[in-house]
Amino acid sequence: MNAQQQSSQDEPIIRFEHVSKIYNVKGQEVRALDDVSLEIRRGAIYGIIGFSGAGKSTLMRMVNALETPTSGKVYVAGEDVEALRRRGLRSLRKNIGMIFQQFNLLESKTVFDNVAIPLVLNHEKKDAIKKRVDELLEFVGLSDRARSYPAQLSGGQKQRVGIARALATKPEILLCDEATSALDPDTTEQILKLLGRVSWELGVTILFVTHMINVITKLCDGVAVMEHGRIVEQGSVLDVFSDPRAEITRRFVSTVIPDRIPDSIVEKLKKEPHPGTLIRFRLRAKAATDNMIWQIDTGFKVKTNVMFASVTELQHVVLSVIILKIEGDPEEIKRVTAYLDAHEVEWDEVKI
């Protein structure tokens, strides 16, 4: 492999550079995206999470030029989307499949014809279409439903058809906008498994937009957290969720990794005359931090008491959250926290 090929392999397949989008709604400016920069490497399963209105869909839709930035640039496979757009949307969009929360299948067409549509639009030959559609239905496990109509399918089956249709033209990128948000937890799990296969078996890069964190923890390797049109945090799912920095990330994380003292205990603590200092530790299973509580108890003149503890597995890594109540001289407590910092333990103080 020569240097040039090497660089095109390493190059992110999707790149947002200082992208902003301003909508004008009745004379009012709505800043849907505010200086967003993000790189997604080839083959990644990348999640974008945020609450409603954060700008997730707007950002995703710029990848296939359903939306254009007010300023900034979007590159797909190294090429400027705006330039591709001028050369013709067809070639760009053929390389990018998309699935939706509401599936968006044609009710008037059979499963087979739905999956065939992108190929029909490309004027492909009948027998080539038949071969490809059979292959796709096999892949998503719906070969026996080819003659059914969408109305006869369950939500999960509809999304399988959506996925088959999105993959018909063998795209390199699959965009998923809340693709599991209309499904129950079991069905969601199945669809995520299927998307995992799309990534591993077909090497498709997946960009998944959602407001549900458990979808991200199960499927994605990278994640960006969005709020008010900005990316507030990004990185590997493990890094971002095991040590959330932004307030909004904490709110998301707390729904899957409990990290708060139960209300009844908080009430009791508030009534105590000497509440002490509450320190929250976030530990990844690492030997260095295993005997931390023992170290604090024996090495410092303080009294510790565990107020809360939770253990969660995130992407095969065990994460624990422990909240300790530490009583003692304020100077001594400062020494404890200095000790924690020296050993690079992730901690913060909890105020009640």
Positions that interact with Mg ion (CB under 5 A): 57
Q: Whole-number minimum distance, CB 56 to Mg ion, in Å?
A: 5
Of the two residues 149 and 300, which places its CB atom closer to other proteins in the complex? 149
Q: Whole-number minimum distance, CB 94 to other proteins, in Å?
A: 6
Alpha helices in 11-104 (DSSP H): 56-61, 81-87, 89-94
**Ranges within 125-154 binding other proteins (CB under 8 A):** 149, 151-152
**Ranges within 37-76 binding other proteins (CB under 8 A):** 64, 66
From 50-58, 153-161, 188-196, 253-261, span contacting ligand ATP (CB under 6 A): 50-58
Q: Is 94 in the site for other proteins (CB under 8 A)?
A: yes
3-state class of 247 per DSSP? helix
**Ranges within 53-72 binding ligand ATP (CB under 6 A):** 53-58
Written as six digits, the tokens of 153 are 């399918």
Q: Whole-number minimum distance, CB 154 to other proteins, in Å?
A: 16
CB-count exposure of residue 65 (10 Å: 0-12, 13-18, 19+): middle
Rounded distance between C-alpha atoms, residue 56 and residue 288, angstroms: 38
Q: Which of 7, 8, 104, 236 binds other proteins (CB under 8 A)?
A: 104
Of the two residues 23 and 200, which places its CB atom closer to ligand ATP in the complex? 23
> CA torsion angle for 248, 253, 259, 261 (degrees, to 10)?
60
**Ranges within 142-201 binding ligand ATP (CB under 6 A):** none
Of the two residues 136 and 220, which places its CB atom closer to ligand ATP in the complex? 220
Which one, of 139, 155, 137, 159, lies nearest residue 147 by Cα? 137
Q: Is 244 in the site for other proteins (CB under 8 A)?
A: no
**∠ Cα 238 20 15 (to 5°):** 50
Q: Whole-number minimum distance, CB 230 to ligand ATP, in Å?
A: 11
Q: From the CA atom positions of the chain, what is the Rg in Å?
A: 25
Query: Are the beta carbons of 234 and 245 closer than 8 angstroms?
Result: no
